[in-house]
Structure formats: structure tokens, C-alpha cells
Structure 1
Amino acid sequence: MIAPRFTAALACGLALAGPASAGTSLVIDAASGAVLSSENAAQPWHPASTTKMMTAYLALKAVREGRIGLETAIPASKLAASQPRVKVYIKAGQEVTLDNALRIMMVKSANDISYVIAEGVGGNVENFVAMMNAEAARLGMRDSHFTNPNGWHDPDQQVSARDLAILAMALMREFPDYSDYWNTGAVQLGKQLLLNTNGLVGRYPGVGGMKTGFVCASGFNVVATATRNGRTLIAVVLGALSGTERTVKAAQLLDDGFSKWGGGYTLASLPSQGGRAQSICGDVRRKGGGVALADDADSSGPIAAQAQDIGGNASDGGRFATAAAPTQFSSSVLTRLPSGKISLGPRAEMTPVPVAFGRTPGSASAPLAANVTGEADSRVARGNAPVIAPSAPVAAGLFGTQTGGLYADRGRTASGNGAIPGSTTAFAPADSASTQPGESSGPMRLQGAVRSGAAAPASLRAGAAAGIKPMPRPAARPLLVKPSPKAEPAKAGAASRKPAQAAAKPQAAKPQARPKTKPDDDA
């Protein structure tokens, strides 16, 4: 329990936060919830496409409860097909399985596919948005309000760095077997090769992906995870003025976080700030001379940005204390240039995962999507849905007694798809001998690769929503193998798909030539 005096000091620091253009950031230990650095972490901010993390969370929750299946074919409505770019140009009436839709949405941040998922899970967008807000309240995301499932700008849609860290923690803890949805480096949709919008993917060792976002009002946002020496961190950066700045600052924050063990307070203890998110579009345009600076996701070479001051670890939550960027970095790809800028190395070559529109053989036996007209009993899962106990907010339950189970990720992982340096990571309880300074007794910590066939840990340090156990993936798909230079990407990727999907002929999607980035593009 955080001391009242400490709470007052922390709240004071948040209340006196600087202008919106100052940005906001947060780094936490994913296992313990310890705050490693914090800068205006509860300041309301426009989420842009980080909103899609909640869309994915609700879709996976619906799969766990048997209301929809990964092979469920969801038809696209005219509303979904009409969403603004970034999109993959699905046509009204075309179908896509939830499995392929989730991968496309999380890798490419496709706005049209986000609406397809929302309608397939909620029946219509209005119902789904109500589900988003109800889930945010349940998880303890006190600063958040959603108005659409894809993050396209709405003045009333907002989150905070604190809330996005809570959501990232919930995704990682409740659905570890589905991490390939947010850490895949690239997907191949017909003639479209779609790279992950997260510039850390393929550049930062141990990165576990997650989600980016951009609208002019929000600036460039990212929620990123990374694992080093068996320890996983979650970093949130909101309000960077370019894609490169966002990526480099996130890398700096992660490097700094891996050198710390926490300052005595936790994600659960960060108070809400209140208020409304403000637009920083003017600053974004001034930085780019009238337009938003291009994202770094399409660049394969090194990128560099000015070194950023990063949030400290003082009792005010990092509002007033900052630490200059270190002169040397523990990551081998972060270097300081003579100009003073920080450089992040080139992107690793990525093997795309093939995806397609249309049904698969498994679609015939999968539950119908909620937006499909049919008999009442055909619109829900066949058989009894699992009983899920009511859940306490994640933020409130981070340090209670052990209540849930967590399983090692036995599906495709960052290290298995050739896109992300690092090793497979699993959550496991820490024994007393492994407790690090600054951690409470009996914490959960992250351990390294799990041996093939090893039993999954049976319990975890409390922190996932109480009473909810993650659902193992129905069938782990083989890891992708990086092809030789002469191998065709489509053939190399086919081995990683389910047999049914490998046999399905992808429908060619409309090729999209990427135009110059505009201020209203959502990435």
C-alpha cells in the first residue's frame, strides 16, 4: 500500500504536468508491475491505433468464451470497407477469418479490418464500442474512453500511458499463446507485403512487438515489450513528433529500464489525472514543415533521432526528475553518433506470414460471426462456453494473492519468425533465491526459453485479472524458417500456416502504393 504522503507527492507531480506537447511515457516490469520510469503517465492522450490493442483483447476474450472461433469467417460490411487508410481494401461482402484479420490488424494496423473484427465480435460497431468501454472499466483503465475500434481520431477518444500499460499486461498474461498476433514481422496478403508498423521489430534485440499508433492530434505512439536476460519490460511512448523519434525513444527507455529494478511504487499505485486529451497536431506539423514526418516502418536501414531525456524514478513519478541518455548502451544496436543523435541499427530481414481473404475448411464448423444473420442457436459457440469468474481490475489486483494460471507461449514467437532478435520467453514464478533488489517477496519473474515439451508453469504471481486463466492456443503452428536468398517468400511462409490455410488460394487484394505520409494517416 502506497503511503499517503507519497501519493500526494505523486499526484502533485501529475497535476502540474507540462503542456500536452511534452509527451508522456512509462516503463514497467511486466512481471511485477514495478514502475521503472514515468513521465506524465496518467495524462489523457489520444490513442490513435493503440486502440486496436483493446479490439484484439475483446476478440481473444470472445474466442476464450466460445462466442467466436479463430476460423470464423467474418463478412465485411460497407461501413468496414469504407474506413480510411491505412487499410487493405477489403470489399463489402468479402470474408476474412478472425485469425487472418487479427494478424493483419496488429501487423499493418488496417482500419478496415479493425471494423470487420468489431462487427464480427459485437454484431455492430456500437455494441462493440460499449464492450470496449466496459472492459476498460473492468481492467482499471480509469483514464480511457473509446468511441471506435480502430483509433481513427475522435476528440472524445482518449487513454493514458498508464492505461495502455495495464492493457498490454492483460494481453500478455491472459493470452500468451497468441503473442504472434502482435510480434509477427510481416504478412503477405496477395501482392501486398505488409511490414509491422513497429520500427523496433527487427531492430531491437528481444523485442516482443505490441502496437503503434498515429494521428496528427496524438503524434506518434507506441506500446512495446522486450525481454532481456529472462526479464520482460513494457514501454509506452505517446506524443513523439516523428516515427523515428518514437522508435528511438522507446529503445532508450527500454535500455534504461533494464538497468533498474523499480523505485518502490507500482503501476497499481499511479493515480489518475483526469481532464481531456489535447491535440498536438500543430507541433507535429511544425516538426515536419507542414506534414507529419514519415514513419520508419518501411525503412530497412539504420535510423537515428536526437537523444531524449527520459523519465526519472523519483517519488513524484518522474514528472520533475529526468535522466540524460547514457553515453553507452547495453543494447548492441544503440549507439551515440558524433552529432549527439542516437542510432538504432538496420532492420533484420523478415519472412512474411501468408494471410488471405476468404474461408478456410475449418470455417464450416466454426461459430458464426455476430454480424451474420442466422438462427439464434447458430450465432453462438456449439456446446457450453467456459464459465469465467468475475474479474477484479488488473490495476487493482496486481499484488494480491495468487489466483490465476499462466502458460508458456508455445505458438510462434518473436525469435521463430525471423523478424525479432531474442529468445522465446515464458512467465514463471520466481523462487526466493532469485528475487532481485526492489522486488517484493515471491514475485513473478520472466525466465528464458522453455525446453520443448516442458510442462507449463501451473501458477503465477497475481496480476492477471482474478479468476481468469489464459486459454491455450488450439494448435501451435510450426515456427517459420528464414528462407535462403533464392527462396520465394510465399513458399517459405507456407510451411508456417495450418494445412488448411496453406491449401487455400489467397484472393489478390488491391495493391497499394504507399503515398507520402499525411497528417491524418493512422498508422
Structure 2
Amino acid sequence: MLALRMGRAAALASFVAATAALPAVASPTLIVDARTGEVVSSEEATRPWYPASTVKMMTAYVALKAVRDGRIGWETVLPVSRLAAAQKPSKLGLRPGSEITLENAMRVMLVKSANDLAVVVAEGVGGSMPNFVNMMNSEARRLGMHESYFTTANGLHQPGQKTSARDLAILARALYNEFPEHRDLWSTGAVQVGRRIMKNTNGLIGRYPGAEGMKTGFVCASGFNLVGLASRGGRTLIAVVLGAGSGAERSIKTAQLLDQGFASWSSTGQTLESLPPSGYDSAPDVRNEICRGGRGVLLADDVDSDGPLTISEAQRSSDSFNPLMEGIRGAGPQGRAVGSVASRTASGRITLGPRADFIPVQIALGPTSGSATAPLAANAGGSKPTTAIARAKPEKPATAIAARGKPAAPVEAPAEATAYATSAPAAPVAASAGGGIAALFGAISPTPPSAPLSLQQEEPQTPGGAAAIRPKTKPQVAAVEPEPKKKVQARKPEGKKVAAKPKAATPAAEKPEAKSE
């Protein structure tokens, strides 16, 4: 028995040693000209990878297209559903029933990487999460994002969700070139909601000269991802880094890639469309390398100090770094490569300087002055069974928009879609109702108003809105109507009125149960 146990222990030790000896997964990288699509350099650029919050770039793209098509407006009020409020951090933390305009929701979503506001935008544009996800995948196919498949609007990890460095560069180019008037959305340094100031999760903004944003992403399975955009000397480059070991590493690595691109006018002769497939079908899970115990790294996508970002030479030369980076360093002063923003200290640490101060953009909650005339959100009715729309015509996003304001007869949602269904909040609280901004975030628990403050009540012209909100209150009034009538009719001859009374009262009492089902 002892020999058997020793044999098993030896076999286990051999397995662990062999596993530890396996090389780390290569970190995909890519540099591309934002205007021409020419590839400056690439490494594993078409390998599938978990996108994390870079998914929010596609959420923004679909929403911007809806604005351009007139299906929704910047000042359209979006209600916060229970599903949105229940999302995991990072998030803004609005309560179910509160409201925010599309512009403010998108700005906070891209700056803070707020998962709850990504769902708010998705439901407001598509009517439901399943319908909006169908819209995202339809746009990905149209843009030629061959390695991408989306299952969420915010990037919270799901095994089937994937993208690639090449696909993210295609998406970044589409955002940059198709919506030049909205570039400030992803380049904003900081936003302020009430007393809360939230800085952009992109560490290049405020540190890298010419940085114009795009998006970060992090889950343990993907590592730290960053799509960086910067302009210098009349050129605009997009750099993509996937699977970095920390937030500092992804920022410094992206800065070095941009330095390399701006230092060279040559290209590989390839375009994003001509990059060959990787041969992989699924994304690797790097959680053991990123989130293993004792790593001592700050595992968060929305935390960044204002000071310098620093990584050690050991980190830089590890397997998580691309050999492509070795050509970036030169013999410039203070260990700085020629034209480089990052510097290397005598001790071998690579540093990206401190962050500049930001004047935060003020974000208001609730409707704005233009909200009354803005197009309605696709989920403005609150209780509309949008899942039925998504299942009926998944390839035609317009169906959700065409149905807004006209909720269909109540139906039972399919079991697999129930988790995504948007339902009317139990106790909506407007920005002006007891508690103000603190009540919207759930910091305090004000007494709910006696009647819901809904979008339909503020805009009574909404067709079908009242019917979606009042099914429970209306039957109660009908049920108590017969009692007052008895007193009035008692003064008149009883022969006619008493006999007629039960006929009117019986259907009024039975009606509510039929509607509530």
C-alpha cells in the first residue's frame, strides 16, 4: 500500500513538473494604420481570444449606428432594468427604475467600463439582450470579423465569447472612420457623477502623447487586454495587446508598440483582411497564469493610479511578452528608445510617466431638456416581451425598434431567454424623488413614491405605454365599484336594480385574474 501511494505521488509530481514546463501562451499583438488598414506588424493577430470588456466597443458601434439611422437619439431616456442593475462590477450602480440618457450611459460605459450601463444601452437600442446580441454578431459578420462571436453586451466572461487582435483592430477602424464626430466618447479622460470622479481605464490617456482612447478589458481567462489609438505626425495608429499580465504591462506594451509604429513608415505588405487564419478554433484560458495565488498583481480593470506605470525587466522578457518588442529599445538618453515614451531605469525597470490631470465631464442622471422630443428607447414600455421578438427574427434588428411602444399581449417567455428578459421595475425612483442621486445608486433606501414615476407618465403621448404599466392597479378599482352603487340604488325601486346588479359585478371581479396570467 505504501509503495502504491509513493508511486501515485511520484506520478503526480511528474505531471505537475511537466505542466509547469509548458510554455505560456503567446500574447497576440498588432499595429495597424487606422486610415489605410495596412499592417505595420503582427503576432498571433488572428488567434481567437477572450475579449472581456473590449466587447463594449461593439456595443458602442451598434448604438452609434442606431443614432445615425434615427432609431434612437442622444437624449433618449433609457430605463435601468433589474437585469442591468444586477450586473457584476465594474459598474456605476444605478438602481432599477432609474433613468439615464443614451449619451451619458455610453460615455460612462466607455470611460469606467461600466457593465450595468452596457446592458442599459443594449436594452434601450435593441429592446432586449438577446436581440441586441444578434445585432452585434450581425455587424461583426458584415465588418469581416471572422474570429468574433459575442454573447454579452459588456464582456463578462462566457466561454463561447471570443474575438482576435485583428477583429478588434477592424472594429476600432470602423468606429474611428465612421463616427469622427463622436471620437470624444472613447478619449474622455474622466467623468463625474455626483461627487464620484471616475478616470478612464485606458492607462495611455493622460500618459501617452497623442493618445485618443479606445478600450480596455480584463477577466482572468483573457488577461489584460487593450486596444489603443494614437495620432502623431499626421498618422493615426491602432495597437492591440491581448493577454498581458497586468494593467501596467498592457499599457506599457501598447505604448511601445505605438512607438515602434510611429518610428517606422514601412509595413508588412499585409492588410487586416489578408492576415492568414491562425488555425485555432477556440480561445485559450490563461487564468492560471494571470490569477494564480500569490501573484501580487492588482487584478482590476478600472483601477489605475495617477503615478508612473512600471514593470520589471523580468516581466518584459517573460513568455507573456512578444519577441517583436525586442526591436523597440534603442540607445537613446536615459535608457529611452529613440522616439519612445517609455523609459528604462538603471535597475532594468521600464516606466511610463505619471498621468496628466483631467477636468472630468459632468454626467447628469435622468432626462435632459431634449429628452421629451427624442425617439423612444426600444424597451420604453418596460414589460414588453422583447424575447419573443428576438427569437422570431434574430437577423433583423429593426424588429425590436418597430415594436417599441406597442407591447404585445402577455406571453410566457421561453425558459432559455428568461434570464435576459427585461421586466418593469418594482419601485422606480426618479432623480427628483426622495434621496436624489444617492437614491439612484442605492446608497440610501428612500420611501418609494405612491405611484411609479415611469417614462410613460412623463411622456403621455407614448402609444400603449400606460397599458404596460397599469394591469395590477386597474382591476382593484373595478372590484370596489359595486359597493358605492348599492347605496345609491337602495333609494330607488329594488325590482330592477337588484336583479341587474350581480350581472355587472361578476365579470368585473373575474377580469383581473385573466389579465394577470
- TM range, normalised to the smaller chain? 0.5 to 0.7
Q: Would the alpha carbon gap of residues 121 and 97 (structure 1) be closer, same or farther in structure 2, given more than 3 Å must change?
A: same
Say what the alpha-carbon RMSD is for the aligned residues. Answer: 3.0
Residue in structure 2 matched with residue 360 of structure 1 by the alignment:
368
Q: Would the alpha carbon gap of residues 295 and 88 (structure 1) be closer, same or farther in structure 2, given more than 3 Å must change?
A: closer
Residue in structure 1 matched with residue 437 of structure 2 by the alignment:
507
Decide whether the 8 Å contact of 1:242 with 1:295 is kept in 2: no
Counterpart-to-counterpart distance in 2, 1:288 and 1:87: 27
Count of residues in correspondence between the two structures: 368
Asked if residue 324 in structure 1 is aligned to residue 327 in structure 2, the reply is yes
Q: Would the alpha carbon gap of residues 378 and 238 (structure 1) be closer, same or farther in structure 2, given more than 3 Å must change?
A: closer
Q: Would the alpha carbon gap of residues 365 and 296 (structure 1) be closer, same or farther in structure 2, given more than 3 Å must change?
A: closer
Residue in structure 1 matched with residue 357 of structure 2 by the alignment:
349
Q: Alpha-carbon deviation of 1:306?
A: 3.5
**Can you give the 5+ residue segments of structure 2 that lack an aligned partner in the other structure?**
1-21, 331-335, 385-397, 405-434, 444-517
Q: Alpha-carbon deviation of 1:322?
A: 6.2
Residue in structure 2 matched with residue 263 of structure 1 by the alignment:
268
Q: Alpha-carbon deviation of 1:286?
A: 3.7
**Given the alignment, which residue of 359, 362, 369 partners 2:377?**
369
Counterpart-to-counterpart distance in 1, 2:150 and 2:326: 33
Decide whether the 8 Å contact of 2:113 with 2:302 is kept in 1: no
Q: Alpha-carbon deviation of 1:20?
A: 6.5
Counterpart-to-counterpart distance in 2, 1:323 and 1:377: 51
Query: What per-residue deviation string (whole Å, max 9, x for no partner) do you get for residues 284-308 of structure 1?
Result: 0248527654568431111111354
Bigger helix fraction: 2
Asked if residue 300 in structure 1 is aligned to residue 306 in structure 2, the reply is yes
Counterpart-to-counterpart distance in 1, 2:242 and 2:159: 16
Query: What per-residue deviation string (whole Å, max 9, x for no partner) do you get for residues 374-411 of structure 1?
Result: 999996699xxxxxxxxxxxxxxxxxxxxxxxxxxxxx
Counterpart-to-counterpart distance in 2, 1:296 and 1:367: 32
Q: Would the alpha carbon gap of residues 511 and 341 (structure 1) be closer, same or farther in structure 2, given more than 3 Å must change?
A: farther
Larger C-alpha radius of gyration, 1 or 2?
2
Greater alpha carbon shift after TM alignment, 39-48 vs 256-265:
256-265
Query: What per-residue deviation string (whole Å, max 9, x for no partner) do you get for residues 165-205 of structure 1?
Result: 00000000100110111000000011211100001110000
Structure 2 SS opposite 1:70: coil
Greater RCO, CA 8 A, separation 6+: 1
Give TM-score, length-normalised by structure 1: 0.66
Counterpart-to-counterpart distance in 2, 1:100 and 1:111: 14
Q: Alpha-carbon deviation of 1:357?
A: 1.6
Asked if residue 237 in structure 1 is aligned to residue 241 in structure 2, the reply is yes
**Given the alignment, which residue of 178, 203, 208 partners 1:174?**
178
Decide whether the 8 Å contact of 1:68 with 1:367 is kept in 2: yes
Counterpart-to-counterpart distance in 2, 1:39 and 1:212: 19
Residue in structure 1 matched with residue 432 of structure 2 by the alignment:
none
Counterpart-to-counterpart distance in 1, 2:160 and 2:360: 36
Decide whether the 8 Å contact of 2:78 with 2:101 is kept in 1: yes
Give TM-score, length-normalised by structure 2: 0.67
Query: What per-residue deviation string (whole Å, max 9, x for no partner) do you get for residues 207-234 of structure 1?
Result: 0000000001000000010111111100
Q: Alpha-carbon deviation of 1:330?
A: 4.3
Query: What per-residue deviation string (whole Å, max 9, x for no partner) do you get for residues 416-441 of structure 1?
Result: xxxxxxxxxxxxxxxxxxxxxxxxxx
% identity of equivalent residues: 56
Residue in structure 2 matched with residue 448 of structure 1 by the alignment:
none
Counterpart-to-counterpart distance in 2, 1:95 and 1:364: 13
Q: Would the alpha carbon gap of residues 254 and 511 (structure 1) be closer, same or farther in structure 2, given more than 3 Å must change?
A: farther
**Given the alignment, which residue of 134, 143, 156 partners 1:139?**
143
Residue in structure 2 matched with residue 71 of structure 1 by the alignment:
75
Q: Would the alpha carbon gap of residues 321 and 50 (structure 1) be closer, same or farther in structure 2, given more than 3 Å must change?
A: closer
1:59-98 to 2 correspondences below 5 Å? 59-98=63-102
Q: Would the alpha carbon gap of residues 125 and 293 (structure 1) be closer, same or farther in structure 2, given more than 3 Å must change?
A: closer
- Counterpart of 1:57 in structure 2: which amino acid? Y
Structure 2 SS opposite 1:121: helix
